[in-house]
Amino acid sequence: MFIVNISPRTAGKTTNSGWLSKALYERGHRVKGFDADHSQQWIQWHEDAKAVEEKAEGEGKGVGFPFEIVSAATPRFHHQHSVPDNVIGVVDCGHSENHPEITDSLLRVADLALVHMSPTSSDFQRLTEPMEGTPLKDMITRSAPLRETTVAPPAWVLLNRVVHNAGSTRAYRNKLKDLGWNVLTTTIPRNEEFANSTLGPVYDADDTNFGALVTELERKGLIK
Ligand SMILES: Nc1ncnc2c1ncn2[C@@H]1O[C@H](COP(=O)(O)OP(=O)(O)OP(=O)(O)O)[C@@H](O)[C@H]1O
Ligand SMILES: [Mg+2]
């Protein structure tokens, strides 16, 4: 299956793709990463993590993420990439505002679309009523006739960079639900550990909110 990580603009996708994929791996899933953003930042993270591990005394495994991550920023993703049934392909995407053709291609083969958003006015606006381009919900809907199933993939919003105890989390969860979005119960907190994690290896992801995210996705039957 493919989990595609999408948003109109910068929204924590690469950070969350890295941590979620590692939490899935730690939980025993077979994982393959796909970097579908021209920035190639997930692949850069992988390389940096390998270098850090190689230099580290004692550990020195130099594997970075313990699974393959391939470059895949192409509007022909749906032709070029597939995964076996027992593998979860985690796809980090670029801005759907700027590269809608890649997001459209990913949505043709997605088994789950994770929409990344901070509970802020500007993220909400760009997701739900952008002044330019096609709203992400419409992109998800328009994928249906192009898919083997002819049904749009399940799409769930993951609220991230959430401030502890801030009212914005509940407020934007409710606003999104009012507009018909599914919103995951699990949220990802705003903190330094995640903010500055893309220069090195990810350890013990299952012990963080990403472990709770895997549990929620499993319980909801969103991952196979
Ligand atoms: N949980 C978090 N807490 C605090 N900061 C975070 C968290 N997650 C991500 N960030 C920060 O938010 C910014 C955007 O994150 P990231 O690069 O993962 O987003 P993105 O959606 O991949 O962006 P782009 O689409 O531009 O590649 C970065 O500065 C990152 O360090
Ligand atoms: Mg990114």
pLDDT 10s digits, 171-199: 999 999 999 999 999 999 999 999 999 99
Query: Please, what is the average pLDDT of the chain?
Result: 96
Task: Tell me what the mean pLDDT of segment 31-56 comes to.
Answer: 96
Put simply, whether the predicted model's pTM sits higher than 0.85 gets the answer: yes
Residues 6+ apart with CB under 8 A from 135: 127, 128, 129
- pLDDT above 80 (res 59): no
Task: Tell me what the mean pLDDT of segment 64-72 comes to.
Answer: 97
Could you please report the per-residue DSSP string of 72-140? Answer: ---TTHHHH----TTEEEEEEEEETTT-HHHHHHHHHH-SEEEEEE-SSHHHHHHHHS-SSS--HHHHH
**What residue spans define the domains of the chain?**
2-219
Q: What spacing in Å lies between the alpha carbon of 13 and ligand 2's midpoint?
A: 5
Confidence of residue 211 (pLDDT cuts 50, 70, 90): very high
DSSP state of 58: S
Report how far residue 74's alpha carbon sits from residue 103's, in angstroms, rounded to the nearest whole number. 9
Report how far residue 98's alpha carbon sits from residue 103's, in angstroms, rounded to the nearest whole number. 10
Q: Quick: pLDDT tens for 114-171.
A: 999 999 999 999 999 999 999 999 999 999 999 999 999 999 999 999 999 999 999 9
Any atom of ligand 1 within 6 Å of the Cβ of 194: yes
Question: Closest Cα to atom 23, ligand 1: which residue?
Answer: 10
pLDDT at 56: 84
pLDDT at 37: 98
Q: Which atom of ligand 1 is nearest to the CA of 11?
A: 21
Confidence of residue 60 (pLDDT cuts 50, 70, 90): low
Q: How many residues in the chain?
A: 224
Confidence of residue 224 (pLDDT cuts 50, 70, 90): confident
Q: Quick: pLDDT tens for 71-118.
A: 999 999 999 999 999 999 999 999 999 999 999 999 999 999 999 999
Contacts within 8 Å (CB) and 24+ apart, 166-172: 166/119, 168/119, 168/120, 169/119, 171/119, 172/117, 172/119, 172/120, 172/124
2-219 maps to which CATH number? 3.40.50.300
What percent of the chain stands above pLDDT 70? 99
Confidence of residue 214 (pLDDT cuts 50, 70, 90): very high
pLDDT at 62: 84
DSSP state of 10: -
Question: Closest Cα to atom 9, ligand 1: which residue?
Answer: 12
- Would you say 135 and 35 are in contact if contact means Cβ atoms under 8 Å apart? no
Any atom of ligand 1 within 6 Å of the Cβ of 12: yes
DSSP 3-state of 142: helix
Q: How many CB atoms lie within 10 A of CB 19?
A: 25
Bin 218: left if φ > 0, else alpha if -120 < ψ < 50, else beta.
alpha
Q: What spacing in Å lies between the alpha carbon of 94 and ligand 2's midpoint?
A: 6
Any atom of ligand 1 within 6 Å of the Cβ of 7: yes
Q: What spacing in Å lies between the alpha carbon of 220 and ligand 1's midpoint?
A: 26
pLDDT at 58: 62
